[in-house]
Structure 1
């Protein structure tokens, strides 16, 4: 089986590189060869490689910067996925696409499920929602996997930033009123492999939109606390953490206060579930 992964250096793409080993001929193509912002070149590459499965692990993820670059964000996060879906349909190849909790406004009091209506607060969220809508409109076989708070040991993310700042400073303020599930990129990659294997073995669930995050919930402050605990266990310095509301830490893009996603449909339809966020964090740091 020929698997084409759009993206090469992002957190999820890097995790997929190892997780998909042995499933077939896996090719990861970065922006220099597979640019979602260039539809004509994107179609050319997809038709040249003619994959049996397409995985889109590429995206515009600079949430705050997107407020000033809406055209580029929509080109990569909305137009690119539409082209992928059209080419997937032409090839008869399923498309796996990753989306985000930022498609929701965070006002719901309980975890969001797949039937809840998106209402994004930011340009980034609107661009990702538009990408989802474009894929569904094309009608190709697809899995849209919404995840949240992705981290790993590579790139720029909350885990690496906190590890650095907690060791550099005496005191650190972190937002405590945004709630979600920190999700290790390796968890997403392992779940993606499990989904592919079930599809290969004729045990696929229904195509469509699913939520895929770690189990449990915490705030950014709670996540920072857990990171700090692991620093202390290793005998490393750790700043004093102080909880603050989002209003004390304004950003160009608004974030949802509730980023909790109900992942029970994925477990029910595809028999794929994820570990608790704290257990995954410890495994990541090991």
Structure 2
């Protein structure tokens, strides 16, 4: 990787920040990880919508690399409060791009498969036209265009259905299915009329670091290999946990229309065409990445047979403690640091 000395990360308290932070910590001289909510001991407060504070942070820290993770990603929230979504996802991105450009820094902007309209039968490539159909996708695409207009040294990385975050950070689809398994559900419903490509945060972080070493700026899709529906993902989760007794039932999107009312593309499938062209597509099949994630973060939900098949050591005390913390989301500062250190070692190898 090109040697960066001073790295500023916005929105580092989420799923992806939890994966990328250990990389930068090991590789770079100084890392300033920020978020508007302080959920971890390594975070410093910064709301990217506060332009005065953002400028003060840039002037004080003087970064040579800016990783802009901060975003409003809740689709229903974005539809309900479009002004907040625009301020967070679009306007703040332009201001950060302007400041990064003035500092001569490189900017990495995380975008989404949600910029596409979902009508294409095949997987989307970087060459396809973005035609967002919801507020979230539109504001993220606006952010992309601000980056392209303002700063030359940029990487725009589009992720798919994000998988990761672990016990304290995961609030996405995979976590919701695992929570139902933990609650003892014997029937789980998942939609089979929306297609996408899962993206494991640790694989994303690994490939991002490889890309940063190329200085080949531009737009890149960065998703795991393969695609499927939410129903396919839910079935894989149940199978990985060894829960053949659970019936995963396919339903249409209308089944969840009251709770999830924001429009969603029929297809968010993507392939990493530009990474392939550079010969650095390191993303694994999504099934393999998902299994690794469940084994490392949710092993307490596996049956004994599934644990044995995965080569995991049975530890009933550990399972009980982890399950309790999974319910309460409680960690001490020491445990959080150990979590980061353990992941950093894992990522290094």
Normalising by structure 2, report the TM-score: 0.76
Partners of 2:149 and 2:280 lie apart in 1 by: 27
* Mapped contact 1:3–1:52 kept (Cα < 8 A): yes
Equivalent positions of 1:180-199 (< 5 A) are 180-196=196-212, 198=213
Conserved 8 A contact 1:166-1:238:
no
Give the drift of 1:158. Answer: 1.1
**Partner of 1:98 in structure 2?**
110
Of the three residues 253, 273, 282, the one matched with 2:291 is: 282
SS of 1:22's equivalent in the other structure is helix
Tell me the distance in 2 between the aligned counterparts of 1:208 and 1:242: 41
Larger Cα-atom Rg: 2
In structure 2, what is the equivalent of residue 179 of structure 1?
Answer: 195
Distance 1:10 1:237 in 2: 32
**Does structure 2 retain, via aligned residues, the 8 Å contact 1:166–1:237?**
no
Distance 1:238 1:71, change over 3 A: farther
Q: Structure 1 regions of 5+ residues with no counterpart?
A: none
Q: CA deviation at 1:284?
A: 1.2
Contact (CA 8 Å) 1:195, 1:272: kept in 2 or not? Answer: no
CA RMSD of aligned residues (A): 1.6
Distance 1:237 1:161, change over 3 A: farther
Q: Please, which of 267, 272, 284 is the counterpart of residue 263 of structure 1?
A: 272
Tell me which stretches of 4 or more aligned residues in structure 1 moved more than 6 Å.
none
- Asked whether the equivalents of residues 163 and 290 of structure 2 are also in contact (C-alpha less than 8 Å), the reply is no
Paired residues of 1:231 and 1:238 also in contact (CA < 8 A): no
Aligned to 2:332: none
**Match of 2:91?**
79
TM-score for the superposition, normalised by structure 1: 0.92
1:249 aligns with 2:256: yes
Q: Given that residues 79 and 136 in structure 2 are in contact (C-alpha distance below 8 angstroms), is that contact kept between their aligned partners in structure 1?
A: yes
Judging by fraction of residues, say which structure has more helix: 2
Note closer, same or farther for the CA distance 1:21–1:257 as it changes in structure 2 (3 Å cut): same
Partner of 1:273: 282
CA contact (8 A) 1:86 1:140 kept: no
Q: Deviations over 1:60-90 (max 9, x none)?
A: 0111111111011111100111111101110
